[in-house]
Amino acid sequence: MENPAEKPDPNPSTPKIESEDEREELGDINGDEEEEEEYEEEDDGKPRTREDAIADRIKAESLFRRMRATPVAVRVHDVIVKGNEKTKDHVIEAEVDVVRQATTLQELLKASKVANFNLQALDIFDSVKITLDSGPPELPGTTNVVIDVVESKSPITGQIGTFTKAEARSSSLEGSLKYKNIFGYGDIWDGSLAYGCDHSAEVGLGMYLPRFRGRPTPFTSRVYLSTQDWLKFSSYKERALGLSLGLIASKYHELAYNIAWRNLIDPSQMASRSIRRQLGHNLVSALKYTFKFDQRNSSLRPTRGYSFISTSQIGGLAPDSRTLRFLRQEIDLRYAVPLGFYPAALNFGIAGGITFPWGSGYKSRASCVPERFFLGGNISPVCSLGGPSALWGFKTRGLGPNEPRREVQDDESGDTYERDFVGGDVAVTAFADLSFDFPLKWFRDRGIHGHVFACAGNMAELSENKYRNFTAPKLLETFRSSVGAGIVVPTSLFRMELNYCHILKKQEHDRAKSGFFMTFSTSS
């Protein structure tokens, strides 16, 4: 299940007051809603007159002048929540706690914007309005923050669409149904169903809590039943029944635990020796930590900024003898440099990963095939942030260590191959992409642009004592590489590329060829 949008930093620094109109800033607290002027009743029950409104306006003008000149000290006396018939007060107050830390009126305006965004991101309110009111008369220099929310009238929502994932060789049809705020804790429950054109499928039930027992980060859980069809490439199907728990999810850090009962089968009875040895049931019990820092201005067409992601995973956190014990580490670094014309930008990145079994006799044991690295696929390396995976011009699981199958079927249809690609224990990829606008305004207005690119990558086996034959020069000598150019059509959901790709270097049995290709990619 997808979490709500990434939230702003809950601890913003003191802003620098610029010469912008603070009155517009006050209006921006509640988004783009229209401003309304109302004559409210005062505490003594007397209606406000037009003269009272004029006097208040004069006071506000004086306050704006002070704000332009110097920070105005203020202290939040109370946070008042209105309109929440079902949602617990503490759920809302936890999302707006940033306003309590403000010490000046300028800071309070910025913090109110963040608080408004946090509440909207819960996805359980139709509208959110934050008002700054004066504090008690006996406490000068104080203010009350009044939060008025309107809870969703339709707690049930659904969506359906087609998607392309990094390791999928075809698109999938996915649908989900969500029920929001059942118990008033901002909880979101969802059921999802996905079916791919390659006969892959997944059914899942998930739950999302923005706050769990006072924790500052969301908690997620998901039960799933999935199947992946890799018969065409590696002669096995993967079926799994599992539970995933999202323990920590902050701006930069994620910690998740996954436990699944997995079964590898070979209905074709054609699997190579390495695949046959791994068929059967096993238990996956793994802890996964991700550090992600992304300062790019866009994930689909970055023109400036940089990003870094590191993923560490340890499997085997269970006493069962059938538990897979492995270590896996991936890193990915990207950098985008604007060139100042058309407006062109150079993107380049490098990614690497390594996996290895651990435990008694780990040097002679084989690593688990689903945990190995596979390169290639119908996706752009520009979008596939997360580790080594994509290479332009190479088909899904189309390069790297491979073994002959036990028998060969008629390959005229192109549906079967003579060899199984078994993946690598270490993988490295690199790419460079130069994007630029076309001179025609029609293309620029729609974000359609051109690009030229180059990429390279390779992988090797280390387990079963094969690390003894591994050397860096040998890895570089067998690097695969390609270059090309194409047209990019970015949309709000995905990035579509029509490319001509030329293979510079490939190895025997690699499935790659020069020609025109169309790719569909979503941001990772």
For the chain, the domains span 64-151, 211-406+418-522
Q: Is 336 exposed, middle or buried (0-12, 13-18, 19+ CB in 10 A)?
A: buried
Q: 211-406+418-522 in CATH: which number?
A: 2.40.160.50
pLDDT at 189 over 90: yes
Contact call for residues 94 and 217 (beta carbons, < 8 A): no
Q: Is 428 exposed, middle or buried (0-12, 13-18, 19+ CB in 10 A)?
A: buried
Which of the four CATH numbers 3.20.20.100, 3.20.20.450, 3.40.50.2300, 3.10.20.310 does domain 64-151 have? Answer: 3.10.20.310
pTM of the model: 0.79
Residue 11 has a pLDDT of: 41
Q: Are strands 305-315 and 280-294 parallel, antiparallel or unpaired?
A: antiparallel
pLDDT at 69 over 50: yes
Q: How many CA atoms within 13 Å lie on the side-chain side of 74? A: 28
The phi, psi pair for 156, rounded to 5°, reads -100, 125
**What ranges make up the beta strands (E) of 111-199?**
125-134, 142-151, 156-163, 172-180, 188-196
pLDDT at 429 over 80: yes
Q: Is 39 exposed, middle or buried (0-12, 13-18, 19+ CB in 10 A)?
A: exposed
Per residue in 321-349, pLDDT (tens digit) is 788 999 999 999 999 999 988 789 999 99
Per residue in 43-66, pLDDT (tens digit) is 455 566 777 777 777 766 776 676
pLDDT at 5 over 50: no
Locate 268 and state its tokens.
């074709």
Can you tell me the distance from the alpha carbon of 427 to that of 369, in angstroms, rounded to the nearest whole number? 14
What pLDDT band is residue 300 in, cutting at 50, 70 and 90?
confident
